[in-house]
C-alpha cells in the first residue's frame, strides 16, 4: 500500500486539499507518496508550503531538469552549482557556453514532461546494475560516489529513460511542478523556483553578482586542484594524501583574511570593521583571524561586542509567539552604541558596557576604552551590515564584511551541498561540545535561526565591501566523526528524527578524517574544540 492510494483520506483527516500534500511523514520520517507501507505506522501530511515541502519541490524540479537535459543533450554533462536567491546555478559542459536557444529547448522539454503528468518511480537495483546505469548516463561523479560506500541494493529514481540515485523524497508526479523558469546567467543558467512561503509563485529575478563571484572564484580553484565533488575528496582520504589538501585549503582561507586586511588598509579612513553572517559561519574565528592580519598591517584591533548593547529584558520586543525577540534590531540600544562610537572616533574615552544574560540587564564593570592612533574597531553581530545599526557613523569610516560557509563542493554531478546543511552540522557539533545540547535540540530550533537569517542577515549581504567564504572543503569529513553519533541518538519517536535521518544519509557520502589533522588555528576548531584562540 502506498500513501498516494489513500491521499484523499489523509487530506480529509488533516482538513487540507490533497493537492496541497507534497509527501507524508511516516513514523517521523519524510517519505514519498509512492513509499510502500507494510507495517502499522502513524502518517502525517507534509504540505507543499512547508520547508520540507519546498525542499521536495526543488529536488523534483532538479530531477526533471536532468531528465530533460539527458533527452536533449545526452553527450553533455549537466552540473549543478550553488544557490542564488530562489534558484540554482547550472552549467552544461561542452565546447561553448549554453545558448538562449538551448535554454528554450530545455524549458520546452521540461514543460512537456510536466504536462504529461508522468509518475516518478523508485526502483531497487543491484550495485553492479547501478554502476552501469550511471555509466551509460554519463553521470561520472555520481558513479564514482558509489565506489566509496558500496550498498548491495540501491534505490534509483526513474523518469522516461533517465535515472538518478534516490537521496530524498520527490513529488510522485511531474504535473505537480506548477512554477519554474530557466534564465541565462553568466556561462550557465538559473533554475528558478518559488520561495517556500509562496508555492506556485516565482519571485522577481534579481541575481547576486557579488555572491556569484565568490562562488565562481572557489569553483575555479576547485577545478584547478581537482576537487569539485565529494568523491574526489574521498579519493584523497583513501590515498592518504588528504593532509596536503587540508594545508592548501587552510592556506587559501588565510589568504582571504590577508586580502581583507589589505583592502581595509587601502581604505585610509576606515575606523571600524563590521562583520556579519548567518549562524555557524565562523564569525568569531573570522574576527580573530582578521585581527591577526590587521596586526601584520600595523593596526591594533579593538573589539566591542554588539551583544553588550541589548536594551534589557524588560524593554526587549516580543515575537508573534510572545517570546523575547533578541534578534530584532529593536532589541539593541542603538542610541547608546552610536553615542559610544562617535566618542571613540573623536578620541574620547567611553565606559564599555557588558550585558548580564542571566539578569537580563546591562552592567558597567569599570572597563574603559579609548582609540589610539593605529587602533581599529571590530564589531561582529547579526545586524552589523544594516546601516540602521550605525546611522550616526560616516560611511567612509566603515568597512563591511559578510562571511558564510559557501562550500564549492557537490555531492555529485546533480546534487549540491546546501550551505544551510553545512552550517547546521557545524551547529549540532558545537552545541554538543560547548553548550550541552542534543542534536534534536539544535534541529528543533534551526527553523527559527533560519527565519532570523532571512529577516536580518541575507537582505543586507550585498552591503558588504567584501565577502569571505569560511567553508573548508575537507570539513564535512571531520564533522562526520562528531555528528554521526549525535544524530543516531535522535529517536524515531521525536519529530526531529526525519531531519536527523536525512543528515545521516548525507554524511554517508564522506569518508572520515581524524580531527588531529586539523590545524590548531583552523576556523573549524570553533566547532570541534581544541583551538588556540580563546572564545
Whether residues 102 and 137 fall in one domain: yes
Query: For position 38, what pLDDT does the model report?
Result: 78
CA distance 102 to 189: 10
- Per-residue pLDDT reduced to its tens digit, 206-218: 678 899 999 999 9
pLDDT tens digits, one per residue of 19-61 = 999 999 999 999 999 988 878 888 999 999 898 999 999 999 9
pLDDT higher than threshold 90 for residue 85: no
Please give the average per-residue pLDDT across 247-261, as a whole number.
97
Domain boundary (178, 207, 236) is at 207
Residue 314 lies in a domain: no
Q: Do the beta carbons of residue 396 and residue 269 sit within 8 Å? A: yes
Distance (Å, rounded) from C-alpha 420 to C-alpha 405?
8
Kindly report whether the global pTM for this prediction surpasses the value 0.85: yes
| Domain identity same for 16 and 71 | no
Q: Does residue 131 fall inside a structural domain?
A: yes
Does residue 266 sit in the same domain as residue 406?
Answer: yes
Residue 387 within any structural domain of the chain: no
Residue 395 buriedness (CB in 10 A; 0-12 / 13-18 / 19+): exposed
195 with 110, same domain: the answer is yes
**Model pLDDT, residue 188:** 94
Within a domain: residue 356?
no
Which residue range(s) make up the domain with 4? 1-47
Q: What's the whole-number mean pLDDT along residues 418-426? A: 97
> Where do we find the cell 498516494?
4
Residue 197 confidence (pLDDT) above 80: no
Q: What is the pLDDT of residues 321-345, one digit of tens each?
A: 888 898 999 999 999 999 999 999 9
Would residue 534 count as lying in a domain?
no
110: domain CATH number is 3.30.980.10
193 and 258 together in one domain: no
Residue 156 lies in a domain: yes
Clarify whether residues 62 and 182 are in a common domain: yes
Same domain, 176 and 215: no
Confidence of residue 308 (pLDDT cuts 50, 70, 90): very high
Q: In which band, very low, low, confident or very high, does the pLDDT at 273 lie, cut at 50, 70 and 90?
A: very high
DSSP-derived secondary structure for 371-428 = --TTEEEEEESTTTT-GGGSTTS-GGGEEEEEEE-----EEETTEEPPHHHHHHHHHH
Signed CA dihedral, 171, 423, 251, 218: sign only: positive
CA dist., res. 10 & res. 333, Å (int): 49
Percent of the chain with pLDDT over 90: 85
- The pLDDT of residue 195: 87
> Of 167, 191, 207, which one is at a domain's C-terminal end?
207
Residue 120 domain-assigned (yes or no): yes
pLDDT band per the 50, 70, 90 thresholds, residue 200: confident
Q: Which residues contact 386 (CB under 8 A, 6 or more apart)?
A: 329, 456, 460, 463
Rounded to whole angstroms, the Cα distance separating 29 from 39 reads 14
CA proximity to 57, closest of 100, 27, 23: 23
- Confidence at residue 206, expressed as pLDDT on a 0 to 100 scale: 64
Same domain, 219 and 123: no
Query: What average pLDDT does the chain have?
Result: 94
333 within some domain: no
Residues 173 and 216 in one domain: no
Q: Are residues 119 and 195 in the same domain?
A: yes
Q: What is the number of domains present in the chain? A: 3
- Verify that 187 and 219 share a domain, yes or no: no
Residue 318, classed as helix, strand or coil, is: strand
Encode pLDDT of 175-194 as tens digits: 999 999 999 999 999 999 99
CA torsion 340-345-347-350 (nearest 10°) is 10
Q: 103 with 188, same domain?
A: yes
Close Cβ partners of 153 (under 8 Å, ≥ 6 residues apart): 124, 125, 126, 127
Amino acid at each position: 500500500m502506498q500513501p498516494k492510494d489513500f491521499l484523499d483520506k489523509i487530506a480529509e483527516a488533516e482538513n487540507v486539499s490533497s493537492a496541497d500534500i507534497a509527501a507524508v511523514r511516516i513514523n517521523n520520517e519524510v517519505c514519498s507518496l509512492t513509499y510502500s507501507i507494510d507495517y502499522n505506522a502513524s502518517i502525517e501530511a507534509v504540505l507543499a508550503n512547508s520547508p520540507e515541502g519546498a525542499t521536495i519541490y526543488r529536488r523534483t524540479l532538479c530531477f526533471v531538469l536532468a531528465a530533460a537535459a539527458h533527452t536533449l543533450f545526452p553527450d553533455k554533462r549537466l552540473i549543478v552549482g550553488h544557490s542564488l536567491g530562489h534558484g540554482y546555478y547550472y552549467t552544461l559542459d561542452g565546447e561553448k557556453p549554453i545558448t538562449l536557444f538551448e535554454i528554450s529547448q530545455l524549458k520546452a522539454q521540461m514543460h512537456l514532461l510536466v504536462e504529461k503528468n508522468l509518475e516518478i518511480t523508485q526502483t531497487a537495483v543491484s550495485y553492479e546494475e547501478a554502476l552501469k546505469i550511471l555509466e551509460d548516463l554519463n553521470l561520472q561523479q555520481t558513479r564514482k560516489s558509489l565506489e566509496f560506500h558500496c550498498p548491495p541494493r540501491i534505490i534509483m529514481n526513474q523518469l522516461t529513460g533517465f535515472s538518478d540515485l534516490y537521496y530524498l523524497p520527490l513529488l510522485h508526479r511531474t504535473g505537480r511542478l506548477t512554477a519554474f523558469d530557466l534564465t541565462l546567467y553568466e556561462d550557465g543558467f538559473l533554475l528558478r523556483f518559488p520561495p517556500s512561503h509562496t508555492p506556485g509563485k516565482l519571485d522577481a529575478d534579481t541575481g547576486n553578482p557579488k555572491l556569484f563571484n565568490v562562488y565562481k572564484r572557489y569553483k575555479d580553484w576547485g577545478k584547478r586542484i581537482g576537487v569539485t565533488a565529494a568523491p574526489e575528496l574521498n579519493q584523497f582520504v583513501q590515498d592518504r594524501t588528504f593532509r596536503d589538501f587540508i594545508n592548501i585549503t587552510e592556506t587559501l582561507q588565510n589568504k582571504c583574511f590577508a586580502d581583507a586586511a589589505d583592502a581595509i588598509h587601502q581604505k585610509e579612513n576606515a575606523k571600524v570593521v563590521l562583520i556579519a553572517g548567518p549562524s555557524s559561519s565562523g564569525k568569531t574565528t573570522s574576527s580573530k583571524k582578521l585581527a591577526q592580519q590587521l596586526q601584520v598591517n600595523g593596526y591594533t584591533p579593538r573589539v566591542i561586542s554588539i551583544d553588550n548593547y541589548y536594551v534589557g529584558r524588560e524593554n526587549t520586543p516580543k515575537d508573534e509567539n510572545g517570546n523575547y525577540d533578541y534578534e530584532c534590531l529593536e532589541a539593541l540600544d542603538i542610541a547608546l552604541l552610536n553615542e559610544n562610537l562617535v566618542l571613540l572616533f573623536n578620541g574620547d574615552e567611553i565606559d564599555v558596557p557588558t550585558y548580564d544574560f542571566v539578569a537580563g540587564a546591562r552592567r558597567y564593570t569599570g572597563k574603559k576604552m579609548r582609540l589610539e592612533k593605529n587602533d581599529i574597531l571590530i564589531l561582529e553581530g547579526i545586524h552589523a551590515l544594516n546601516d540602521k545599526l550605525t546611522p550616526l557613523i560616516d560611511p567612509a569610516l566603515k568597512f563591511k564584511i559578510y562571511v558564510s560557509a559557501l562550500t564549492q563542493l557537490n555531492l555529485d554531478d546533480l546534487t549540491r551541498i546546501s550551505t544551510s546543511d553545512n552550517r547546521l552540522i557545524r551547529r549540532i557539533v558545537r552545541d554538543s561540545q560547548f553548550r550541552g545540547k542534543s542534536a534534536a535540540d539544535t534541529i528543533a530550533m534551526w527553523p527559527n535561526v533560519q527565519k532570523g537569517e532571512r529577516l536580518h542577515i541575507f537582505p543586507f549581504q550585498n552591503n558588504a565591501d567584501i565577502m569571505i567564504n569560511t567553508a573548508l572543503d575537507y570539513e564535512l569529513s571531520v564533522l562526520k566523526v562528531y555528528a554521526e553519533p549525535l544524530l543516531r541518538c535522535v529517536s524515531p519517536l521525536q519529530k526531529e528524527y526525519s531531519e536527523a535521518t536525512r543528515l545521516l544519509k548525507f554524511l554517508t557520502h564522506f569518508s572520515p578524517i581524524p580531527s588531529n589533522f586539523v590545524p590548531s588555528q583552523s576556523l573549524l576548531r570553533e566547532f570541534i574544540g581544541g583551538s588556540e584562540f580563546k572564545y
